[in-house]
Amino acid sequence: MKKIFVLFLFLLPSLAFSASSKIIATVEGMSCASCATAIEQQIRKLPDIDTVKISLSKSQVIIASKRDSSPKIPDIQKAIETAGYKVKTIISAE
């Protein structure tokens, strides 16, 4: 019985997370920490953004929205372009 309860606690955060959506953008020309900061600042101006993770090695920007919301892909693309970078691919990964 105790084991089941512990398992439930582990599952809870992942269930909560599934209600939000994730967008992965591959960006061209992003080469250092200040590029990453510039992009993050533009994306954070959009509503319903929870986290913005940037991987310079993969040239990827991973955006997670807040629960029960999904930022629009064109809005995110525009934010990255406003920061001065080109979006190669942008996909929604639930």
Which one, 6 or 32, has the nearer CB to Cu ion? 32
Give the binding site for Cu ion (CB under 5 A). 31-32, 34-35
Cα–Cα distance, 69 to 51 (Å, whole number): 13
SS (H, E, C) 41-78: HHHHCCCCEEEEEEECCCCEEEEEECCCCCCCHHHHHH
Which one, 58 or 67, has the nearer CB to Cu ion? 58
| Cβ at position 1, least distance to Cu ion in Å | 54
| Cβ at position 77, least distance to Cu ion in Å | 19
| Cβ at position 40, least distance to Cu ion in Å | 12
Cα–Cα distance, 43 to 66 (Å, whole number): 13
Which one, 31 or 41, has the nearer CB to Cu ion? 31
